[in-house]
Every structure is written in C-alpha cells, then in structure tokens.
Structure 1
Amino acid sequence: MAVRKIYRKLFSCSVEDDVASSPALQEPLKKMLLRLVSSYRYAGEHVDMDVAKLEAAELSEAIREKRLHGDEVARIISTRSKPQLRATFQQYKDDQGTDIVEDISSSHCDGSGGGGKQLAGMLRSAVLCLTSPEKHFAEVIRYSILGLGTYEDMLTRVIVSRAEVDLEQVKEEYRASYGSAVSLDVAGDTSFGYRDMLLALLGGQE
C-alpha cells in the first residue's frame, strides 16, 4: 500500500495502470501481477484450517493440471493473509509430500503461451516473499554475484532494503543454502568503496 502511494506521487499514475499497459509483460504473467499489485490482504493472525485444507487441494489440482494461470491460484495468492498462506502451503506439503515452491517450478508448461515460464518464476518468488522472504532474498544475492560481473543494482537493493528488517535471517539462510557467508562472497565479487559500504551494512566479514 505504501509503495503504491509513493509510486503515484512520483509518477502521477498508478502502478496498476502501468502494469496493465506495459508491452513488456505477457499474459498470463500480466494478469497475475495486476492481481498482486492491486490486492488487499487481511493483516491479522487468524488462520482458518478448513480454508487451508480446501485451498491446498485447489492449488494441488492447478499445479497437477498445469493451470497456474487459473483464477483460483490468482485469488489465493493475491488475497490471503500471510499466516493463512503459510498454513495452506504447510497443508499442501503434508498432503503432497513436496514443497509447493518446488512443484510450481516444475509446472510452467501450462499451455498459456510464452508467459508460462515467467508466470511460474513470478509465482515462486511471490510464495517465497509472502511466507519465507529470507529464502527469496538469499537467492537474489546469490544470483547477483554468480558468474562474471555483478548485478550491482540488484545486490544493493537487497542489502540496503533488508538491513533494518531481516538481514540476519537472510545471511543465515544464505549460509545454509550455499555453504558460504554472504560477506565473504560479496567481498570477493566487489571492490573499493562499494565493497566497504556493503560490508558495513552486512556487519563486516563473517
């Protein structure tokens, strides 16, 4: 809500309008993004386990039938509260024996056109951001420093934006996933004042 308000102030238009009119976004990705940026979520902690069981089954069916672009998937992901989604995804794992993030990643051949793979990637990111943001941001840091060169904008955005939020959890998740410390990998892939600034935000080398 805050981002949408500032976006309108900065650019004199809504983020919803810009997503809807963007030629760079294909369907069904555009439809799902539009649902996400325009959604309103219940902010409380109440969880309805009957709803979690029902919607876990609906998500399972959509993934099995490669219908990630379906209205039910969009409704669940874009409107349910974070505690409710965590309960639904845990119920999904209990029922299916697999993590929903893994199943979404393997379910992009949905017959919905060229945006199918993009949609699966976006849904995967959305699920992680909503329920396990530290995993998502650990992945983003890893991606930004892999290979030749550094995606500096991406790396800077994550470290600066999470520094006062959950950076310690992101660092722990990074070490658990990749067997290395964020600070060591960042130090090895950056240089000079830029490196020093990032390391200061990370709390020095581990």
Structure 2
Amino acid sequence: MPTPTVVPDPGFSAEEEAKALRSAMKGLGTDEKAIVVSVARMANAQRQEVIVIYKTMYGRDLISDLKSELGGDFEDTVLALFMKPADFDATCLHKAMKGLGTKDKVLCEIMASRTNEQIQAIKVSYKKLFKNELEKDIIGDTSGDYKRILISLCQGARSEDPHVDQAKAAAEAQKLHSAGEKQFGTDEAVFNSIIALRSYPQLQATFHEYKKLTGHDFIKAIQKEFSGNVEDGLSSVVMVAQDTPLYFAQLLHKSMKGAGTDEDRLIRVVVSRSEIDLGDVKEAFNRTYGKPLSRWIRDDCGGDFRRMLLAITKD
C-alpha cells in the first residue's frame, strides 16, 4: 500500500484550527510558524472544512487573508495545500498552457501520472475554474504525436484490470519492437495505443518481455525512437508504470540539483503526493541519491518555505 506523509488529524477541530489561523494573522506581524503547524497537521478535506468555518466565525475569507499576510514560495505552498487536489492540478495545467509558450514538462508530469478517477476530476475542475474543456486547450496548445499522446491520456480510460495477460504482454512487446527498433522509421500510433490503454501491471509485463526480446530496457527504445516532447510524454508514462515513487523522486531531485531551484515543481510534487505516496517517494529518493530528501530541502530552501516543506514531508 502507498504511504502518505499527511493523514487526517484524529483530534481535528475545524473551529480550533480556524481560531489558530486567525490568531496567527491578526494584529501586527504574522506568526508563520503557527500557520505551518496548523496547516501541516490537517489533511486536505479537513482544510476544506476550515475554509468554511473560518468564514462562518469571522465573516472573512481565509484564502484572501492568507494572501494578504504571506508571500513568496511559502505563500504558494500554503495556498496549494488549501486547494482541492483536482483544482490544484487543473490550475497547474492551465498555468502551463496560458500565455506564450507551453511548460510541456508540467503537462507530461500531471497527465502521465494521474489515475483515471483523478483525470476525470481534473477535467471537471478545469471546466469549472477556466470555462473551457481541458482537452480543447491541450489541442490548441500542442501538436503532432505529442498532442495525440496527451489527448489519449486526457480520456482517463486506461485499463484498471489487475490481471496480467502474459501472452498479450509477449505479443505486444513484439509489436512494439516491430513498430520501432526493428524497422526504419517509427509507427508512433502503436506506441501511443499500447502505452495509453494498458494497465500498469500489464505494461510492466510487456516491458519485461521487451527486455527479454531485445536485451535492454524499454525506456531505451523510447529514447532511441523519439525525441523532444513526444519522448518526454511516453517516458513519463513508462516510468510511472514501472516505479511511481522513483519517478517522483527523480522529479524532486531535478527540481533541486544544480544552480537554482525549480520551486514550482518542488511544491507541485510535495503537495500532490503528500496524501498519496510521499513516504514511498522519500524512500526512493534516499535510496537513489544517498542523501535524505530532508537534507536536500534544508540545503536548497530557506525560511518558512523550508519549514513548511519539511513539515509536509514529515522530516
């Protein structure tokens, strides 16, 4: 079973949390540490209750008060934690597509890693928040094989059958080999259909058969046959199918390695996985990079932003 780092507070009182947050913000100055403690001990559903109770108690909007009192990456993290998960994903997708240019890695990350149920919820939220269909915006902002991959993922119709058909895995491994490395040119439609349709256990079996057939991992075939956004999109699905915690551990590492920090990605991964499998992501990170995630966060981030990330990752 996946291991979250944030679970519902068993002693939760929406009224008490609303009082704590109001006390932290009223008067001169803001008690950021108190905000960290309050927000980090609640699960998202509990935070939604607090939003309603806060307005009932004080006649004030909690989110507006937080925006007026906080700033920078700390504010972005707190506001992300107070958004419903589907609203947060929808907002990240919209932000990635609006204006000039597209942040394609954000599209790949979210669309490749969410379950069917999550995809359907994101589409509803996107329409509610931005008055347009997610698929329509994807079509308008992308092109070619990359667009087709994202449209396929946007359907949220991947098989969820836990049963693995070994004969189908072997046959489809051969089909993928024939559509790519075995011939001159690539039949992108074959890759797209199998990777977008099959359940993760079925894909794992197919990748295993592919390695038996060719002697190397399937991800190498993706890297050899594709490039750019198409490679990123297909690779994301393959990595999620093979090892979801490792996939997100790699994203966290990329957000902090080298000069500068990709705060948006760091916030997005920590917040979106906190109630799903962030405990497993931490383990994969520590195992892969030889230094705890908490050390990377301490070395790379500062102030209240760092304090909030450590509180959510439970380090």
TM-score range, shorter chain: 0.7 to 0.9
Alignment of 1:1-206 (within 5 A): 1-22=120-141, 25-64=142-181, 65=183, 70-108=188-226, 116-204=227-315
List runs of 5+ in structure 1 lacking aligned partners: 109-115
TM-score by length of 1: 0.87
Mark the structure with the bigger radius of gyration. Answer: 2
Q: How far did 1:96 drift?
A: 2.1
Aligned residue-pair number: 195
Q: Say which SS state the counterpart of residue 46 (structure 1) adopts.
A: coil
Matched residues in 1 for 2:234 and 2:275: separation? 26
The secondary structure found in structure 2 opposite 1:56 is: helix
% same residue? 34
Per-residue deviation at 1:144? Answer: 0.5
In the alignment, the residues of structure 2 paired with residue 14 and residue 188 of structure 1 have an alpha-carbon distance, to the nearest angstrom, of 40
| CA spacing shift, 1:71–1:107, aligned 2, 3 Å | closer
Given the two structures, how large is their TM-score scaled by the length of structure 2?
A: 0.58
Looking at both structures, which has the greater relative contact order when contacts are Cα pairs under 8 Å and sequence separation is at least 6?
2
Q: Which amino acid aligns with 1:72?
A: V
Instruction: Give the whole-Å Cα distance in 1 for the aligned partners of 2:159 and 2:301.
Output: 41
Unaligned residue ranges in structure 2 (runs of 5+): 1-119
**2:144 aligned counterpart, secondary structure:** coil
Contact 2:138 2:151 in 1 (8 A): yes
Assess, with a 3 A threshold, how the Cα gap between structure 1 residues 180 and 60 changes in structure 2: closer, same or farther. farther
The amino acid across from 2:179 in the alignment is A
| Aligned-pair Cα RMSD in Å | 1.8
Q: Take 1:171 and 1:99, find their aligned partners in 2: how far apart are those partners?
A: 25
In terms of mean alpha carbon deviation, does 117-126 or 187-196 score higher?
117-126
